Amino acid sequence: MRHIFSVLILVFLCNAHNLEAQHYANKIDSLVNSFRVNQAGKAYDNMAYAKSIRRYEPLYNKGYLADSIKSKLAQAYLKTHESEKAEAVYASIANTSLSNEDLFFYAQALKCNGKYAEADRQMAKYLTVEANDSRAHKQHNALPVIEKILAEERYLIEEVDFNSSQSDFGAVVVNDQLVYTSAREVDVMIRREYAWKETPYLNVFSVKIKEDNFGVPQLLSTDLKSMYHDGPVSINADETELFITRNTFNNLIGKKGVDGTNHLNLMVSYKMSDGSWSKPENLPFNSDNYSTGHGFITADNQRLYFASDMDGGQGGSDIWYVNRTDNGWSQPVNMGSDINTEGDEMFPFLDHTNKLYFASNGHLGLGGLDLFIASEKEGKYEVHNMGYPINSAKDDFSLYLSSDGINGYFASNREGGKGDDDIYRFKILKEVSFKKHLKSKLLDKNTRMIIANTPVQLKDSDGNVLQDLVSDAEGMIATELPLDLNEITLAVNAVDYYPYQDVLDVSHDVDEHEMELIPLPVYGIYGNVFLLPDMTPIPEVTLLMEAKNGASNSIISNADGAFKTKLEPETEYDLVFTKKEYFTRRVQYSTVGRDTGYVNVNEFMELEMEKAEVGKSIEIEILYDLGKWNIREDAATELDDMVQFLNDNPTIEIELGSHTDARGSAKSNQILSQKRAESAVQYMVDRGINKSRIQAKGYGETRLKNKCADGVPCSEEEHQANRRSEVTITAM
């Protein structure tokens, strides 16, 4: 018993020791993890995002990162263009722990990954708290606009062949050279890395433009190479000045501003007499406390555009400009809220028509930075997304457009490139319009049928006609309107409809408007005539409408075989369909007792015609009195149709055959059928048909259609089937 008790004490002591050891180990782990989190945080705060990711990732994968720290890892992923990983981290943060800033950048990560509907949902959450954020309002409910942008392919793009595995961007054309900025290796013996992404620093290169490709890239000038970032550049029209973006620094220690950041400065270099470039000089509006960069000098050399996060902007980095004066450069002017947002606007470029191009993540785009174009009128700018595929879900920026207004270059970190950022060349297929778009469909209000080929007038508020349009085959009108036009009147005077007018707000694009016309009280029919036996529509069929009161009218179906026509109320009609080399088709239709409106006669009538061919026969109905052969005037309708058919087809010859049933003697039936055939032929001859074109043939009871021969009991209907007249084509 004492032995067992001793063993239990020993076990207890061992367990206590293990628990103490485990507690100690957990405490050590906690201290180590806390240290690692602090180290990762320091790297993040120093904008060494690649290093911070290396330190955060193992902790995140083991579940050691608190939600409050995860957002830093997600931000580091976004800063280094790893949006898929950023999305996954944001998704792992509890909803209650997502800050307002987290929600905004979560939406941005989703957009960069092409998940626009989910991005809209996160942006809506953000706006419930940050209702005054202009960026969020511009990007809220983005999916319909993005779908519209993606639906129209405006550009041809292709990657240039000199891209490196590092970042390449900022291309500008100077004579036969393409000058651009790149992080490609320059001196492999001394590798200096940019802590943000742990990639080499930027330098300015040039490459010769050839017909289909490019030469070998070289440093533009060693005079422009520093220890840190150099580029992008803008060179004036006579190539005497070069404006370059460069880090603030000196050769001994990094020179930082009051916020601890190495800012960018915009500097100018002058072309020397020997063709070299002078040492870049600071421009007067630079500061150690904010960044200026991405300069663009206008063709007249009088205005310099640039990006800066200096005080007085809209937020983030903005587009600014300075003017050249007799006393140097003017004070910087912010381009205002039409161009700038609370996000980042950068890489300005002005084309030969004075349209401004820039990159932004604050205006509504496809994700990351998008390229935008702005047109100025009376001090106001209209900004449009440049569209697809020059813009993508990733970053698209640093546009250059040649003087032809069609060809140019831009940079993107989209998938499929060689490295980080890559340069692409593009050709404009359809330029961005700075007029408002109007689309409207013309419809019958009752039937919702389209109303095609109908004039539509656009009038201003004073009733002046601005445009005369015609609806197309789909009932659509489409046009462009001046930006300063906010209201128009659409006016339609269509046959069979009451006059239509509608005052329309056109202060923005109108894409889904409908003009619903109310039909006048009208009786009419529409439909198609079909070919037997394959039932395809027959084009250009003549429709003769013979009213019982003697009135008549005719129309011709269109190339698709469709017809539509008005009729008189309370009237009975014979509708006669004729076409050369087709047998005539006659049907009856009445508007007596019908409601107003157009009726689709195909729903209750068989409108089929047969092709006339040698040897083909059709039955026609000719009514005779019992035992008689004279044609009753009230029963010759189908003979009249045959007269019309022969007049329409003057080369066709026919045999008119008459048949009887088997009742009575065969001889008398033969005589009767022959006389009936001759009587029918004479009827047509009397109405102008040459007798040589018609042969009369009586068949008596020799060609019965059924079993009803002599002595076979049959119904009256079966006998009636044998009493018939047939027309057979004998020549064409």
For residue 27, what pLDDT is reported? 45
CA 518 to chain centre: 32
Cα 442 to Cα 474: distance, rounded to the nearest angstrom: 8
Cα 430 to Cα 405: distance, rounded to the nearest angstrom: 11
Report residues of the chain scoring pLDDT below 50. Answer: 1-28, 188-192, 194, 250-258
- Give the DSSP H or E segment for 177: strand 177-182
For residue 174, what pLDDT is reported? 93
Best CA proximity match to 526, nearest among 602, 586, 474, 577: 602
**CB–CB of 722/701 below 8 Å?**
yes
Cis (ω within 30 of 0) for the bond into 58?
A: no
For residue 579, what pLDDT is reported? 92
**CB–CB of 641/650 below 8 Å?**
no
Question: pTM here?
Answer: 0.62
Angle at the Cα of 311 (from 306 to 313), degrees rounded to 5? Answer: 60
- Tokens linked to 48: 């060494």
DSSP label at residue 214: B
Domain 37-150: which topology?
Answer: 1.25.40
- Tokens linked to 656: 């008119």
DSSP label at residue 431: P
For residue 195, what pLDDT is reported? 52
Best CA proximity match to 226, nearest among 197, 206, 250, 242: 250
Cα 333 to Cα 407: distance, rounded to the nearest angstrom: 30
209 burial level (CB within 10 Å; 0-12, 13-18, 19+)? middle
In the chain, domain spans: 37-150, 236-428, 436-516, 523-609, 617-731
For residue 25, what pLDDT is reported? 43
Which position has the token pair 């007799």?
326
- Give the DSSP H or E segment for 174: strand 168-174
**CB–CB of 228/219 below 8 Å?**
no
- Give the DSSP H or E segment for 147: helix 143-150
Cα 607 to Cα 440: distance, rounded to the nearest angstrom: 34
Domain 436-516: which topology?
Answer: Immunoglobulin-like (2.60.40)
Phi, psi (deg, nearest 5) at residue 667: -65, -45
Which position has the token pair 């018993």?
1
Cα 393 to Cα 150: distance, rounded to the nearest angstrom: 11
Beta strands in 361-496 (DSSP E): 370-377, 380-385, 396-401, 407-412, 422-428, 436-444, 455-459, 465-470, 476-481, 487-492
Instruction: Give me the amino acid identity at 531.
Output: L
DSSP label at residue 519: B
Cα 383 to Cα 376: distance, rounded to the nearest angstrom: 9
Pairing of strands 436-444, 510-517: parallel
CATH top-level class of 236-428: mainly beta
> Is residue 456 classed as helix, strand or coil in its secondary structure?
strand
DSSP label at residue 216: -
Cis (ω within 30 of 0) for the bond into 389?
A: yes
- Report, in this order, helix, strand and coil percent for the chain, each rounded to 5: 25, 35, 40
236-428 against 617-731: fold identical: no
Cα 661 to Cα 670: distance, rounded to the nearest angstrom: 10
> Is residue 319 classed as helix, strand or coil in its secondary structure?
strand
DSSP string covering 322-366: EEEETTEE---EE--TTT--SS-EEEEEE-TT--EEEEESSSS-S
For residue 24, what pLDDT is reported? 40
**CB–CB of 726/620 below 8 Å?**
yes
Domain 523-609: which topology?
Answer: Immunoglobulin-like (2.60.40)
Q: In CATH, which of 1.20.1300.10, 3.60.15.10, 3.30.1330.60, 1.10.3720.10 is domain 617-731? A: 3.30.1330.60
Cα 318 to Cα 339: distance, rounded to the nearest angstrom: 8
> Is residue 476 classed as helix, strand or coil in its secondary structure?
strand
Cα 313 to Cα 656: distance, rounded to the nearest angstrom: 95
The region, left, alpha or beta by phi > 0 then psi within -120 to 50, assigned to residue 417 is beta
Helical H runs in 529-665? 637-648
Q: What does each C-alpha distance from 20 to 8, 13, 14, 29, 605 come to in angstroms? A: 18, 10, 10, 14, 96
Which position has the token pair 């157009």?
598
Task: Count CB-CB contacts under 10 A for residue 329.
Answer: 16
